[in-house]
Amino acid sequence: MISFNPKALSTGRLHGYLLSAVAPRPIAFASTIDANGNPNLSPFSFFNVFSANPPIMIFSPARRVRDNTIKHTLQNVEAIKEVVINVVNYDIVHQMSLSSTEYPEGVNEFEKTGLTMLPSDEVKPFRVAESPVQFECKVNDIVHLGTEGGAGNLVICEVVKLHIADEVMNADNTINQDALDLVARAGGSYYSRAKKGFFEIPKPIRTLGIGVDSLPEHVRNSMILTGNNLGMLANVEALPSKEEVNQFIKDVSERYPNIKTASHRKKHKIAQNYLSYGDVESAWKLLLS
């Protein structure tokens, strides 16, 4: 067994050990607003529930390890002491991941991820309509754990209203864990699907993904492609060139002889198959043909 003194490790290395060893962790998909009323949406896996009476949840938007900056979510809850914590199930995991892209202040991550803003009843921030359980919260306190990169900031939230989708409820008004299909975070690019185990999602690019709001209309409004599919497609910095698209169609024409004249529906089905294998590049070349 290898032993370490935390003070002898770089913050980045220690951070990696902590995230990989203390896993899987539930995800707080936190919706906030800034002082000007602009919505913000971001996921945090330093999160759990700590009390039922009163109902208290705590999540921690830590200072960034690489440059010691703070996240918009922390700025927002300091200005407007309200938050909605939405749970993350498998159906929205790629859109959730896309929301962690570091878009500039004021950019609406609901629009970038293609998720729906649902008005709350008791607080100003919006709920994520696609999330199966949503907790409207007041922020009771914020505890700053340090001033250096990697330091946490404990946002202590009291639940003032919760919303649970009908489709995850049992007949006796308990939650059906199998139907809920929660996703948790682990180290590196790993996630854990509660009923199926670990899987990977490439970390969002440091440069900005184009976002669901920038997808071609026939892709954004597809009757075939899921929210997760759109999240994968939106997490690219740029679309393939016309030359790359033409070469791709030439290369696959033997396998799909009628692909040039295929309907959007047919292309979307084939693109979805590429996405199921994580081949975003091929999916895009097909969709743009």
For range 188-202, the mean pLDDT: 92
* Domain shared by 156 and 237, yes or no: no
Instruction: With CA atoms as reference, report the closest residue to 251 among 286, 209, 276.
Output: 286
* Domain shared by 185 and 236, yes or no: no
Q: Does the structure show a pLDDT above 90 at 229?
A: yes
Q: What total of structural domains would you count in the chain?
A: 2
Q: Does the structure show a pLDDT above 80 at 206?
A: no
Count of other CB atoms within 10 angstroms of residue 254: 7
Asked whether residue 172 is domain-assigned, the answer is yes
pLDDT (tens digit, 9 = 90+) per residue, 106-160? Answer: 899 999 999 999 999 999 999 999 999 999 999 999 999 999 988 889 999 999 9
Q: Does the structure show a pLDDT above 90 at 65?
A: no
For range 46-60, the mean pLDDT: 97
Question: Is the distance from CB of 155 to CB of 61 less than 8 angstroms?
Answer: yes
* Domain shared by 221 and 273, yes or no: yes
pLDDT tier at 257, thresholds 50, 70, 90: confident
Assign residue 38 the CATH number of its domain. Answer: 2.30.110.10
What is each CA distance from 105 to 51, 62, 152, 206, in whole angstroms? 33, 17, 21, 15
Structural domain that includes position 260: 212-287
pLDDT tier at 281, thresholds 50, 70, 90: very high
Question: Is the distance from CB of 86 to CB of 128 less than 8 angstroms?
Answer: yes
For range 26-34, the mean pLDDT: 97
* Domain shared by 101 and 22, yes or no: yes
pLDDT > 90: what percent of the chain?
A: 82
What is each CA distance from 95 to 115, 231, 242, in whole angstroms? 7, 5, 27
Tokens of 23: 């896993």
Count of other CB atoms within 10 angstroms of residue 5: 6
pLDDT, greater one: 194 or 43 = 43
Q: What is the pLDDT of residue 255?
A: 87
Question: Is the distance from CB of 266 to CB of 276 less than 8 angstroms?
Answer: no
Angle at alpha carbon of residue 56, lines to 55 and 60, rounded to 5°: 160
Q: What is the pLDDT of residue 66?
A: 84
Sheet holding 153-164, edge to edge: 39-44, 28-33, 82-86, 133-144, 153-164, 55-59, 47-52
pLDDT tier at 200, thresholds 50, 70, 90: very high
Which of these ranges, 71-75, 193-197, 201-205, 220-224, has the smallest mean pLDDT? 201-205
Q: What is the pLDDT of residue 150?
A: 86
pLDDT tier at 67, thresholds 50, 70, 90: confident
Asked whether residue 206 is domain-assigned, the answer is no
pLDDT tier at 258, thresholds 50, 70, 90: confident
End-to-end Cα spacing for the chain: 54
Mean pLDDT over the full length of the chain: 94
* Domain shared by 35 and 108, yes or no: yes
Asked whether residue 35 is domain-assigned, the answer is yes
* Domain shared by 216 and 195, yes or no: no
* Domain shared by 191 and 264, yes or no: no
* Domain shared by 109 and 249, yes or no: no
Asked whether residue 15 is domain-assigned, the answer is yes
* Domain shared by 135 and 18, yes or no: yes
- The whole-angstrom separation of Cα 43 and Cα 53 is 25
Asked whether residue 205 is domain-assigned, the answer is no
Instruction: With CA atoms as reference, report the closest residue to 233 among 243, 221, 244, 242.
Output: 221
Q: Which of 200, 225, 259 is the last residue of a domain?
A: 200
Q: Which residue do the tokens 């996703």 mark?
A: 183
* Domain shared by 30 and 160, yes or no: yes
Q: Answer positive or negative: Cα dihedral of 48, 52, 53, 54.
A: positive
* Domain shared by 148 and 239, yes or no: no
Q: Does the structure show a pLDDT above 90 at 63?
A: no
- The whole-angstrom separation of Cα 9 and Cα 239 is 40
Q: Which of 142, 171, 200 is the last residue of a domain?
A: 200
Q: What is the pLDDT of residue 210?
A: 93
Asked whether residue 145 is domain-assigned, the answer is yes
pLDDT (tens digit, 9 = 90+) per residue, 237-246? Answer: 999 999 999 9
- The whole-angstrom separation of Cα 19 and Cα 24 is 9
Tokens of 104: 């500039």
Query: Taking phi first (over 0 means left), then psi (-120 to 50 degrees means alpha), and beta for anything else, what does residue 188 get?
Result: left
* Domain shared by 176 and 223, yes or no: no
pLDDT > 70: what percent of the chain?
A: 100
Q: Which of 200, 231, 265 is the last residue of a domain?
A: 200
